[in-house]
Amino acid sequence: MPTIAPGENWVTKVAAESDGAVFGIIGGTHLGCVNCIPKPGMQFIADTPWRPGGTGHPILDGQTTAAYAIRNATSGAQPGDVVIKGLEARNYNPASQMGVIKLGGHNSNEGMDNTILENCYIHDSPNGGIRFGHRTKVLGCRVERMGQIGMVGLGNDLLIDGAMTYGVYRWTELINNNPTSTNIGFETGGCKFVGVGTDSVRVSGIICRHVRARLNKGNGIWMDVACDNYVVEDCETIDNLQNGVSTETSYSGIFRRIYSARNGLESPPTTWPALAGLGVHHSGGVGLEVYDNFLWGNAFGFGWIQQERTGSPGGEPLGPYHLKNVYTHDNIVVLQTGHPTGNSVRAASVNQDVGDNTIFTDRNLRFERNRYFVPASITTPFDWLNSPRAFAAWKDTYGNDVQGTFNSPAMLAGFRPGDL
Protein backbone atom coordinates (compact mmCIF):
# COMPACT_ATOMS: atom_id res chain seq x y z
CA MET A 1 0.00 0.00 0.00
CA PRO A 2 1.41 3.42 -0.91
CA THR A 3 1.49 5.94 1.91
CA ILE A 4 1.43 9.71 2.26
CA ALA A 5 3.38 11.10 5.19
CA PRO A 6 3.47 14.61 6.67
CA GLY A 7 5.74 16.77 4.53
CA GLU A 8 4.90 14.95 1.29
CA ASN A 9 3.06 16.53 -1.63
CA TRP A 10 -0.32 14.89 -2.18
CA VAL A 11 -0.63 15.94 -5.82
CA THR A 12 2.74 14.36 -6.62
CA LYS A 13 1.89 11.17 -4.76
CA VAL A 14 -1.46 10.81 -6.55
CA ALA A 15 0.15 11.41 -9.94
CA ALA A 16 2.60 8.55 -9.33
CA GLU A 17 -0.11 5.94 -8.77
CA SER A 18 -2.72 4.29 -10.99
CA ASP A 19 -6.49 4.42 -10.74
CA GLY A 20 -7.77 2.55 -7.70
CA ALA A 21 -4.71 3.07 -5.52
CA VAL A 22 -5.33 2.85 -1.77
CA PHE A 23 -3.21 5.28 0.24
CA GLY A 24 -2.45 4.90 3.90
CA ILE A 25 -2.35 8.42 5.37
CA ILE A 26 0.25 8.65 8.12
CA GLY A 27 -0.67 10.56 11.28
CA GLY A 28 0.59 14.10 11.83
CA THR A 29 0.06 17.51 10.24
CA HIS A 30 -0.06 17.51 6.44
CA LEU A 31 0.64 20.86 4.77
CA GLY A 32 0.95 19.33 1.30
CA CYS A 33 -2.70 18.42 0.69
CA VAL A 34 -3.60 21.35 -1.57
CA ASN A 35 -6.16 21.08 -4.40
CA CYS A 36 -5.57 17.36 -4.70
CA ILE A 37 -7.65 15.80 -7.51
CA PRO A 38 -7.95 12.01 -7.02
CA LYS A 39 -7.93 9.49 -9.81
CA PRO A 40 -10.95 7.18 -10.16
CA GLY A 41 -11.29 4.63 -7.39
CA MET A 42 -8.58 6.04 -5.15
CA GLN A 43 -8.89 5.72 -1.38
CA PHE A 44 -7.32 7.86 1.35
CA ILE A 45 -7.46 5.94 4.63
CA ALA A 46 -6.02 7.26 7.90
CA ASP A 47 -3.62 4.86 9.58
CA THR A 48 -4.88 6.21 12.91
CA PRO A 49 -8.44 7.49 12.41
CA TRP A 50 -9.79 10.72 13.80
CA ARG A 51 -12.04 10.37 16.80
CA PRO A 52 -13.36 13.02 19.22
CA GLY A 53 -10.59 13.91 21.66
CA GLY A 54 -8.14 11.56 19.95
CA THR A 55 -4.55 12.22 18.88
CA GLY A 56 -2.12 10.81 16.36
CA HIS A 57 -4.47 10.97 13.36
CA PRO A 58 -3.72 12.79 10.06
CA ILE A 59 -4.54 16.53 10.07
CA LEU A 60 -4.77 18.32 6.73
CA ASP A 61 -3.91 21.98 7.28
CA GLY A 62 -4.43 24.61 4.58
CA GLN A 63 -2.55 27.31 6.53
CA THR A 64 -5.47 29.68 5.74
CA THR A 65 -4.33 30.13 2.12
CA ALA A 66 -5.02 26.84 0.30
CA ALA A 67 -8.51 26.80 -1.20
CA TYR A 68 -9.28 23.08 -1.05
CA ALA A 69 -7.86 19.91 0.41
CA ILE A 70 -9.39 17.36 -2.00
CA ARG A 71 -11.44 18.56 -4.94
CA ASN A 72 -13.19 17.70 -8.20
CA ALA A 73 -11.54 17.98 -11.62
CA THR A 74 -11.41 21.51 -13.03
CA SER A 75 -12.56 20.25 -16.46
CA GLY A 76 -13.44 17.09 -18.33
CA ALA A 77 -14.50 13.79 -16.81
CA GLN A 78 -14.90 13.67 -13.05
CA PRO A 79 -13.30 10.94 -10.93
CA GLY A 80 -15.62 8.48 -9.25
CA ASP A 81 -15.67 5.91 -6.45
CA VAL A 82 -13.25 7.82 -4.21
CA VAL A 83 -13.08 7.05 -0.47
CA ILE A 84 -11.84 9.51 2.19
CA LYS A 85 -11.77 8.08 5.69
CA GLY A 86 -10.62 9.09 9.15
CA LEU A 87 -9.05 12.48 8.33
CA GLU A 88 -9.23 15.92 9.95
CA ALA A 89 -9.08 19.08 7.79
CA ARG A 90 -8.73 22.67 9.00
CA ASN A 91 -7.58 26.17 8.06
CA TYR A 92 -8.48 26.07 4.35
CA ASN A 93 -9.98 28.96 2.39
CA PRO A 94 -12.64 27.67 -0.02
CA ALA A 95 -14.72 29.98 -2.19
CA SER A 96 -18.18 31.05 -1.07
CA GLN A 97 -20.72 28.21 -1.32
CA MET A 98 -17.92 25.68 -1.81
CA GLY A 99 -16.21 23.35 0.66
CA VAL A 100 -12.83 22.31 2.02
CA ILE A 101 -13.71 18.93 0.48
CA LYS A 102 -15.06 20.04 -2.90
CA LEU A 103 -16.83 17.21 -4.70
CA GLY A 104 -18.89 19.37 -7.05
CA GLY A 105 -19.77 22.88 -8.13
CA HIS A 106 -22.70 24.99 -9.28
CA ASN A 107 -23.28 22.96 -12.47
CA SER A 108 -24.50 19.37 -12.46
CA ASN A 109 -21.60 18.16 -14.66
CA GLU A 110 -19.02 19.27 -12.08
CA GLY A 111 -19.89 16.57 -9.56
CA MET A 112 -17.62 13.68 -8.68
CA ASP A 113 -19.61 10.44 -8.55
CA ASN A 114 -20.05 8.08 -5.60
CA THR A 115 -17.55 9.59 -3.17
CA ILE A 116 -17.61 8.21 0.38
CA LEU A 117 -16.53 10.59 3.12
CA GLU A 118 -16.50 8.69 6.42
CA ASN A 119 -15.49 9.58 9.97
CA CYS A 120 -13.87 12.88 9.02
CA TYR A 121 -13.66 16.11 11.03
CA ILE A 122 -13.73 19.35 9.02
CA HIS A 123 -13.62 22.63 10.89
CA ASP A 124 -12.50 26.21 11.35
CA SER A 125 -12.30 27.46 7.78
CA PRO A 126 -14.23 30.17 5.90
CA ASN A 127 -17.31 29.28 3.84
CA GLY A 128 -18.21 25.58 3.51
CA GLY A 129 -16.95 22.28 4.86
CA ILE A 130 -18.21 19.82 2.22
CA ARG A 131 -19.56 20.54 -1.27
CA PHE A 132 -21.60 17.59 -2.58
CA GLY A 133 -21.19 15.77 -5.89
CA HIS A 134 -23.42 13.02 -7.28
CA ARG A 135 -24.18 10.07 -4.99
CA THR A 136 -22.02 11.57 -2.27
CA LYS A 137 -22.14 9.62 1.00
CA VAL A 138 -21.25 11.54 4.16
CA LEU A 139 -21.11 9.01 6.99
CA GLY A 140 -20.37 9.71 10.62
CA CYS A 141 -18.58 13.00 9.98
CA ARG A 142 -18.41 16.21 12.04
CA VAL A 143 -18.39 19.66 10.43
CA GLU A 144 -17.90 22.49 12.89
CA ARG A 145 -17.33 26.26 12.98
CA MET A 146 -17.26 26.76 9.22
CA GLY A 147 -17.58 30.43 8.34
CA GLN A 148 -20.70 30.01 6.18
CA ILE A 149 -22.21 26.52 6.19
CA GLY A 150 -21.34 22.97 7.11
CA MET A 151 -22.36 21.16 3.93
CA VAL A 152 -23.91 22.43 0.70
CA GLY A 153 -24.52 21.50 -2.90
CA LEU A 154 -26.40 19.50 -5.49
CA GLY A 155 -26.22 15.92 -6.63
CA ASN A 156 -28.31 12.90 -7.47
CA ASP A 157 -29.01 10.33 -4.75
CA LEU A 158 -27.21 11.92 -1.80
CA LEU A 159 -26.87 10.08 1.51
CA ILE A 160 -26.00 11.83 4.76
CA ASP A 161 -26.05 9.35 7.63
CA GLY A 162 -24.32 8.02 10.70
CA ALA A 163 -21.87 5.16 10.48
CA MET A 164 -20.42 2.33 12.50
CA THR A 165 -16.81 3.37 12.31
CA TYR A 166 -13.97 1.58 14.04
CA GLY A 167 -16.39 -0.06 16.45
CA VAL A 168 -18.33 3.11 17.38
CA TYR A 169 -21.59 4.34 15.84
CA ARG A 170 -21.39 8.08 15.15
CA TRP A 171 -24.05 10.40 13.80
CA THR A 172 -23.05 13.06 11.31
CA GLU A 173 -22.83 16.34 13.24
CA LEU A 174 -23.16 19.94 12.06
CA ILE A 175 -22.17 22.23 14.91
CA ASN A 176 -21.94 26.02 15.29
CA ASN A 177 -21.44 26.82 11.62
CA ASN A 178 -21.53 30.51 10.66
CA PRO A 179 -20.56 31.32 14.27
CA THR A 180 -20.39 35.08 13.61
CA SER A 181 -23.97 35.19 12.19
CA THR A 182 -22.77 36.64 8.87
CA ASN A 183 -25.33 37.08 6.04
CA ILE A 184 -28.04 35.14 7.84
CA GLY A 185 -30.26 33.41 5.28
CA PHE A 186 -27.70 33.31 2.44
CA GLU A 187 -26.66 29.65 2.44
CA THR A 188 -25.75 29.77 6.11
CA GLY A 189 -26.19 27.20 8.83
CA GLY A 190 -25.81 23.47 9.06
CA CYS A 191 -26.60 21.94 5.67
CA LYS A 192 -28.26 23.04 2.43
CA PHE A 193 -29.35 20.81 -0.46
CA VAL A 194 -29.98 22.30 -3.90
CA GLY A 195 -32.14 20.57 -6.52
CA VAL A 196 -31.06 22.25 -9.76
CA GLY A 197 -27.75 23.49 -11.11
CA THR A 198 -26.99 26.82 -12.71
CA ASP A 199 -26.99 24.82 -15.96
CA SER A 200 -30.72 24.19 -15.26
CA VAL A 201 -30.18 20.43 -14.99
CA ARG A 202 -32.35 18.99 -12.21
CA VAL A 203 -31.05 16.48 -9.65
CA SER A 204 -33.12 14.30 -7.34
CA GLY A 205 -32.91 12.06 -4.32
CA ILE A 206 -31.77 12.97 -0.80
CA ILE A 207 -31.64 10.84 2.33
CA CYS A 208 -30.65 12.76 5.45
CA ARG A 209 -30.63 10.44 8.46
CA HIS A 210 -28.93 10.38 11.87
CA VAL A 211 -27.79 13.98 11.54
CA ARG A 212 -27.42 16.31 14.54
CA ALA A 213 -27.56 19.97 13.54
CA ARG A 214 -27.13 22.28 16.51
CA LEU A 215 -26.09 25.83 17.31
CA ASN A 216 -25.86 26.80 13.64
CA LYS A 217 -26.45 30.46 12.78
CA GLY A 218 -28.97 29.85 10.03
CA ASN A 219 -31.09 26.80 9.22
CA GLY A 220 -30.20 23.40 10.58
CA ILE A 221 -31.16 21.21 7.56
CA TRP A 222 -32.44 22.99 4.46
CA MET A 223 -33.83 21.91 1.08
CA ASP A 224 -33.86 24.78 -1.42
CA VAL A 225 -34.70 25.26 -5.12
CA ALA A 226 -36.33 22.30 -6.86
CA CYS A 227 -35.40 19.58 -4.37
CA ASP A 228 -37.56 16.51 -4.90
CA ASN A 229 -37.75 12.98 -3.55
CA TYR A 230 -36.08 13.85 -0.25
CA VAL A 231 -36.32 12.10 3.12
CA VAL A 232 -35.22 13.68 6.39
CA GLU A 233 -35.61 11.14 9.17
CA ASP A 234 -34.31 10.26 12.62
CA CYS A 235 -32.48 13.58 12.94
CA GLU A 236 -32.00 16.14 15.72
CA THR A 237 -32.02 19.88 15.11
CA ILE A 238 -31.41 21.92 18.25
CA ASP A 239 -30.71 25.60 18.98
CA ASN A 240 -30.33 26.67 15.36
CA LEU A 241 -30.92 30.37 14.88
CA GLN A 242 -33.49 29.89 12.11
CA ASN A 243 -35.51 26.83 11.06
CA GLY A 244 -34.61 23.45 12.45
CA VAL A 245 -35.57 21.71 9.17
CA SER A 246 -37.06 23.52 6.20
CA THR A 247 -37.94 23.01 2.57
CA GLU A 248 -38.11 26.04 0.31
CA THR A 249 -39.16 26.39 -3.35
CA SER A 250 -39.12 22.61 -3.64
CA TYR A 251 -41.35 19.63 -4.25
CA SER A 252 -42.18 16.28 -2.64
CA GLY A 253 -40.57 14.52 0.28
CA ILE A 254 -40.87 13.18 3.84
CA PHE A 255 -40.05 14.64 7.26
CA ARG A 256 -40.33 11.98 9.97
CA ARG A 257 -39.03 11.12 13.43
CA ILE A 258 -37.22 14.43 13.83
CA TYR A 259 -36.54 15.94 17.24
CA SER A 260 -36.48 19.71 16.75
CA ALA A 261 -35.96 21.94 19.79
CA ARG A 262 -35.45 25.65 20.48
CA ASN A 263 -35.01 26.63 16.84
CA GLY A 264 -36.03 29.91 15.23
CA LEU A 265 -35.26 32.18 18.17
CA GLU A 266 -33.44 34.82 16.13
CA SER A 267 -34.43 38.17 17.60
CA PRO A 268 -35.83 39.94 15.77
CA PRO A 269 -36.35 37.60 12.79
CA THR A 270 -34.49 39.03 9.79
CA THR A 271 -35.56 36.87 6.86
CA TRP A 272 -38.59 34.67 7.44
CA PRO A 273 -41.88 35.68 9.02
CA ALA A 274 -42.11 32.22 10.59
CA LEU A 275 -39.04 30.53 12.03
CA ALA A 276 -39.98 27.02 13.00
CA GLY A 277 -38.98 23.60 14.16
CA LEU A 278 -40.24 22.43 10.75
CA GLY A 279 -40.75 24.91 7.91
CA VAL A 280 -42.47 24.37 4.56
CA HIS A 281 -42.15 27.35 2.24
CA HIS A 282 -43.97 27.28 -1.14
CA SER A 283 -43.28 23.53 -1.42
CA GLY A 284 -45.09 20.21 -1.52
CA GLY A 285 -45.12 18.97 -5.09
CA VAL A 286 -47.11 15.78 -5.50
CA GLY A 287 -46.88 15.14 -1.77
CA LEU A 288 -44.96 16.11 1.35
CA GLU A 289 -45.65 13.98 4.43
CA VAL A 290 -44.74 15.23 7.92
CA TYR A 291 -45.25 12.76 10.76
CA ASP A 292 -43.96 11.31 14.04
CA ASN A 293 -41.91 14.42 14.78
CA PHE A 294 -41.35 15.95 18.24
CA LEU A 295 -41.12 19.76 18.21
CA TRP A 296 -40.19 21.36 21.52
CA GLY A 297 -39.80 25.02 22.41
CA ASN A 298 -39.37 26.39 18.89
CA ALA A 299 -40.62 29.85 17.96
CA PHE A 300 -43.14 28.15 15.66
CA GLY A 301 -43.80 24.43 15.67
CA PHE A 302 -44.93 24.17 12.05
CA GLY A 303 -44.31 27.19 9.80
CA TRP A 304 -46.04 26.80 6.43
CA ILE A 305 -46.07 29.79 4.07
CA GLN A 306 -46.78 30.71 0.45
CA GLN A 307 -44.72 33.55 -1.02
CA GLU A 308 -44.06 34.68 -4.57
CA ARG A 309 -41.36 32.49 -6.11
CA THR A 310 -41.74 32.82 -9.87
CA GLY A 311 -38.41 33.52 -11.51
CA SER A 312 -36.44 31.42 -9.05
CA PRO A 313 -33.00 30.18 -10.20
CA GLY A 314 -33.28 27.07 -12.32
CA GLY A 315 -36.86 27.78 -13.34
CA GLU A 316 -39.74 25.60 -12.12
CA PRO A 317 -38.82 22.16 -13.50
CA LEU A 318 -41.75 20.31 -11.88
CA GLY A 319 -44.28 23.12 -11.94
CA PRO A 320 -44.97 26.24 -9.86
CA TYR A 321 -43.58 26.46 -6.34
CA HIS A 322 -46.84 26.12 -4.44
CA LEU A 323 -47.55 25.24 -0.84
CA LYS A 324 -49.73 22.20 -1.51
CA ASN A 325 -50.31 18.51 -0.80
CA VAL A 326 -48.76 18.64 2.67
CA TYR A 327 -50.05 15.96 5.05
CA THR A 328 -49.08 16.74 8.65
CA HIS A 329 -50.11 14.05 11.11
CA ASP A 330 -49.31 12.33 14.41
CA ASN A 331 -46.75 14.88 15.57
CA ILE A 332 -46.17 16.39 19.02
CA VAL A 333 -45.70 20.15 19.37
CA VAL A 334 -44.74 21.75 22.68
CA LEU A 335 -44.64 25.54 23.02
CA GLN A 336 -42.80 27.51 25.67
CA THR A 337 -42.92 31.11 26.83
CA GLY A 338 -40.00 33.42 27.53
CA HIS A 339 -38.61 33.57 24.00
CA PRO A 340 -36.53 36.62 22.94
CA THR A 341 -38.28 39.90 22.22
CA GLY A 342 -39.73 40.10 18.72
CA ASN A 343 -40.60 36.43 18.36
CA SER A 344 -44.13 35.33 17.69
CA VAL A 345 -45.05 31.93 19.10
CA ARG A 346 -47.21 29.50 17.16
CA ALA A 347 -47.90 25.79 17.38
CA ALA A 348 -48.88 25.69 13.70
CA SER A 349 -48.91 28.56 11.23
CA VAL A 350 -50.27 28.45 7.70
CA ASN A 351 -49.88 31.79 6.00
CA GLN A 352 -49.50 33.59 2.71
CA ASP A 353 -48.45 37.04 1.54
CA VAL A 354 -49.47 36.82 -2.13
CA GLY A 355 -53.16 37.71 -1.78
CA ASP A 356 -54.33 34.19 -2.63
CA ASN A 357 -56.57 32.49 -0.10
CA THR A 358 -56.90 29.33 -2.18
CA ILE A 359 -54.05 27.85 -0.16
CA PHE A 360 -56.60 27.43 2.64
CA THR A 361 -59.27 25.80 0.49
CA ASP A 362 -57.78 24.20 -2.63
CA ARG A 363 -54.22 23.11 -1.82
CA ASN A 364 -54.82 19.90 0.12
CA LEU A 365 -53.13 21.00 3.35
CA ARG A 366 -54.16 18.49 6.01
CA PHE A 367 -53.49 18.41 9.74
CA GLU A 368 -54.60 15.25 11.52
CA ARG A 369 -54.11 13.75 15.00
CA ASN A 370 -51.39 16.15 16.07
CA ARG A 371 -50.95 16.71 19.81
CA TYR A 372 -50.30 20.25 21.02
CA PHE A 373 -49.05 21.28 24.46
CA VAL A 374 -49.41 25.04 24.85
CA PRO A 375 -49.16 27.34 27.90
CA ALA A 376 -52.45 29.01 28.82
CA SER A 377 -50.91 32.46 28.27
CA ILE A 378 -50.64 31.74 24.52
CA THR A 379 -54.28 32.13 23.53
CA THR A 380 -53.98 32.10 19.72
CA PRO A 381 -51.26 29.56 18.90
CA PHE A 382 -52.41 28.91 15.32
CA ASP A 383 -52.50 30.90 12.06
CA TRP A 384 -55.15 30.17 9.42
CA LEU A 385 -56.88 32.33 6.81
CA ASN A 386 -54.57 35.29 7.48
CA SER A 387 -55.27 35.62 11.20
CA PRO A 388 -54.18 34.13 14.54
CA ARG A 389 -56.61 31.48 15.81
CA ALA A 390 -57.41 29.68 19.02
CA PHE A 391 -57.48 25.90 19.01
CA ALA A 392 -61.29 25.84 18.90
CA ALA A 393 -61.34 27.79 15.63
CA TRP A 394 -58.42 25.81 14.19
CA LYS A 395 -60.28 22.59 14.87
CA ASP A 396 -64.02 23.29 14.81
CA THR A 397 -64.31 26.19 12.38
CA TYR A 398 -61.63 25.24 9.87
CA GLY A 399 -61.52 21.46 10.26
CA ASN A 400 -57.86 21.02 11.19
CA ASP A 401 -56.83 18.33 13.66
CA VAL A 402 -60.39 17.18 14.26
CA GLN A 403 -58.92 14.24 16.19
CA GLY A 404 -56.04 16.26 17.57
CA THR A 405 -55.53 17.21 21.22
CA PHE A 406 -54.65 20.42 23.02
CA ASN A 407 -53.21 20.38 26.55
CA SER A 408 -50.89 22.15 28.96
CA PRO A 409 -47.13 21.45 28.84
CA ALA A 410 -47.37 20.67 32.55
CA MET A 411 -48.57 17.23 31.50
CA LEU A 412 -45.08 16.55 30.13
CA ALA A 413 -43.14 17.20 33.33
CA GLY A 414 -40.37 14.66 33.65
CA PHE A 415 -40.87 13.23 30.18
CA ARG A 416 -38.17 12.87 27.54
CA PRO A 417 -38.82 12.98 23.78
CA GLY A 418 -38.54 9.20 23.51
CA ASP A 419 -41.24 8.67 26.13
CA LEU A 420 -44.14 9.85 23.97
- The whole-number pLDDT of residue 416 equals 60
- Whole-angstrom CA distances from 126 to 161, 223, 230, 307 are 24, 22, 28, 31
- Is the CB of residue 244 less than 8 Å from the CB of residue 256? no
Measured between alpha carbons, how far is 83 from 254 in angstroms, rounded to an integer?
29
Write phi, then psi, for 297 (nearest 5 degrees): 70, 20
- The whole-number pLDDT of residue 292 equals 98
Query: How many other C-beta atoms lie within 10 A of the C-beta of residue 83?
Result: 18
Write phi, then psi, for 164 (nearest 5 degrees): -85, 105
- pLDDT over 90 at 55, yes or no: yes
Measured between alpha carbons, how far is 5 from 27 in angstroms, rounded to an integer?
7
- pLDDT over 90 at 271, yes or no: no
Please report the beta strands in 107-162, taking only residues with DSSP state E, as ranges in sequence order. 116-118, 121-123, 128-131, 137-139, 142-144, 149-153, 158-161
Pairing type for strands 387-389 and 382-384 reads antiparallel
81-137: pLDDT as tens digits = 999 999 999 999 999 999 999 999 999 999 999 999 999 999 999 999 999 999 999
Query: How many other C-beta atoms lie within 10 A of the C-beta of residue 204?
Result: 20
Q: Which of 11-25, 79-93, 163-177, 261-275 comes out lowest in average pLDDT?
A: 261-275
What is the reported pTM? 0.95
Better-scored residue on pLDDT, 366 or 419: 366
CA 409 to chain centre: 29
- Per the DSSP assignment, residues forming a β-bridge with 304 are 280, 350
Please report the beta strands in 262-358, taking only residues with DSSP state E, as ranges in sequence order. 276-281, 288-291, 294-296, 300-306, 326-329, 332-334, 346-352
Closest to 163 (Cα-Cα) out of 132, 142, 192: 142
Mean pLDDT calculated for residue range 37-49: 98
Break the chain into its structural domains and give their ranges.
1-103+113-181+188-195, 218-420
236-259: pLDDT as tens digits = 999 999 999 999 999 999 999 999
- Whole-angstrom CA distances from 75 to 3, 37, 78, 79, 200 are 27, 11, 8, 11, 19
